[in-house]
Amino acid sequence: MTKIDISDRLKRLPPYLFVEIDREKKRALDKGRDIIDLGVGDPDQPTPGYIINALNKAVRDPSTHHYALDNGMKELRVEIARWYKERFGVELDPDSEILPLIGSKEGIAHMPLAFINPGEIALVPNPCYPPYRSGVILAGGEIHDMPLEEENSFLPRVDSIERSVLERARLMYLNYPNNPTGVPCDKDFYQRVVEFGLKNDIIISSDAAYTEMSYDGYSQPSFLEVENAKKIGVEFHSLSKTYNMTGWRIGWVCGNRDIIAGIAKVKSNIDSGVFNAIQRAGIAALKGPKSEIDKMKRLYQDRRDVLVKGLNSIGWQVTKPKTTFYLWAKTLGGRDSASMCKTLLNEVDVVMTPGVGFGSYGEGYVRMALTVPKERLKEAVDRIKKIV
């Protein structure tokens, strides 16, 4: 039989973190073990009923059964513009500054194909959401790590990047509120980044999937709120976490019209847009009652408080995050993150994500997702206590 070999680009890709975790978890579940899964950040709550009803109605309309337009339904783009204006005070042109996506992940991963030539550099946070790295690799680009360290509030030190790197850099990825660390950022940081991007002719890509997951009265600003942001960058957003729609695959990118046009050209050659019925459901989500978002925030804040209190009570010092539904905590006893996660799974049936899976600077940490009920979080603490 002829040997089929994969491309060098695929060989450069690390194993996708969550696939590996799912494989280990499945082995344990197949053995009948009671797993408490704090690994992948997938909301456990159902999509709100009014969104499901909107989809139900839309999918019965034959006009939604055809190819979607590459740039998405005008009604959805108008609603996104309204939402951004109301939420952030940002004006967006629905016709040129907004592009619906099949989930923000696909747009993030496709973006380097539009702007990175082989040998050019993308500035990527470390640790980070894995598609930032894989998208650059698949485009033939090179990655320059921007360490996110606790002593700098998990913000990149952009002013310390060497001139030789900046001369070849074309794109910078940012993500606040941040996955995996759970930290926010302020407008002053965004303003420094905009000035940095303009000075060095580097496109800024802001991943804002978690802006609506904030607690204790905190509100995360948008990258696009700061002066001149639209001259150099775009922002990705998603309905996945805000409205419990991870499986629906709908998001968008907005901002600089030339960057939007580049991403749109890639997409027009790869996919045929978001299913129109799902776009209509997205419109319903954005028009929906703010009480649903407030309900979501209360749910995760309560879970956060329960888990942090429980872990601290057994000697694991964990800080309450202001944003996201993740806890980012140093490993117990200075252990490496992968071995600690294996111990947790094998000995007490608790799944966590090793920090090293998000990048080398994630070593020494684990990530916990608040995607199980409070009772299970308390049980997880009781289990972990056995091995502390």
Q: Which residue, 226, 252, 287, sits at the end of a domain? A: 287
Q: Tell me 102's DSSP state.
A: S
Quickly count: other Cβ atoms within 10 Å of residue 373's Cβ.
14
Say if CB 386 and CB 345 are below 8 A apart.
no
Q: Which residue, 263, 287, 311, sits at the end of a domain? A: 287
- How distant, in Å, are the alpha carbons of 20, 40, 129, 320 from that of 351? 12, 9, 18, 20
Q: Is the pLDDT of residue 38 over 80?
A: yes
Q: Is the pLDDT of residue 19 over 90?
A: no
Of the pLDDT bands very low, low, confident and very high (cuts 50, 70, 90), residue 21 is confident
Same domain as 337, residue 218: no
What average pLDDT does the structure give for the chain? 95
For CA atoms 112, 115, 119, 120, give the dihedral sign: negative
Same domain as 159, residue 92: yes
What value does the mean pLDDT take over residues 150-157? Answer: 97
Peptide bond into 180 cis (omega under 30): yes
342: CATH: 3.90.1150.10
What confidence tens digit (pLDDT) does each residue in 121-137 have?
999 999 999 999 999 99
What value does the mean pLDDT take over residues 349-369? Answer: 96
Res 69: pLDDT: 85
Same domain as 210, residue 79: yes
Same domain as 240, residue 201: yes
Percent of the chain with pLDDT over 90: 91
What confidence tens digit (pLDDT) does each residue in 332-354 have?
988 999 999 989 999 999 999 99
Say if CB 300 and CB 218 are below 8 A apart.
no
Res 365: pLDDT: 97
Decide if 220 is inside a domain.
Answer: yes
Decide if 264 is inside a domain.
Answer: yes
Same domain as 41, residue 58: no
- Tally of domains within the chain: 2
Which residues have C-beta within 8 Å of that of residue 150, sequence separation ≥ 6?
A: none
What value does the mean pLDDT take over residues 22-49? Answer: 91
Of the pLDDT bands very low, low, confident and very high (cuts 50, 70, 90), residue 104 is very high
What value does the mean pLDDT take over residues 246-272? Answer: 97
Same domain as 270, residue 150: yes
Question: What is the secondary structure of 219-252 as a DSSP string?
Answer: -PPPGGGSTTHHHHEEEEEESTTTTT-GGG--EE
Decide if 297 is inside a domain.
Answer: yes
Same domain as 191, residue 108: yes
* CA-based nearest residue to 256, from 278, 282, 230: 230
Decide if 175 is inside a domain.
Answer: yes
Which residues have C-beta within 8 Å of that of residue 173, sequence separation ≥ 6?
A: 108, 122, 123, 124, 125, 128, 132, 205, 207
Same domain as 183, residue 76: yes
Same domain as 169, residue 22: no
82: CATH: 3.40.640.10
Q: CA-CA distance, 191 to 87, in Å (whole number)?
A: 19
Q: Which residue, 257, 287, 317, sits at the end of a domain? A: 287
What value does the mean pLDDT take over residues 109-126? Answer: 97
Say whether 294 sits in a helix, a strand or coil: helix
Which residues have C-beta within 8 Å of that of residue 204, sequence separation ≥ 6?
A: 172, 174, 193, 194, 197, 223, 229, 232, 233, 234
Same domain as 371, residue 271: no
Q: What range defines the domain where residue 220 resides?
A: 49-287
What confidence tens digit (pLDDT) does each residue in 241-258 have?
999 999 999 999 999 999
Same domain as 234, residue 306: no
- For the entire predicted model, the pTM comes to 0.95
Decide if 2 is inside a domain.
Answer: no
And the tokens for 233?
A: 């960058």
Peptide bond into 177 cis (omega under 30): yes
Decide if 363 is inside a domain.
Answer: yes
Quickly count: other Cβ atoms within 10 Å of residue 228's Cβ.
12
Q: Tell me 214's DSSP state.
A: B
Same domain as 56, residue 41: no
Decide if 1 is inside a domain.
Answer: no
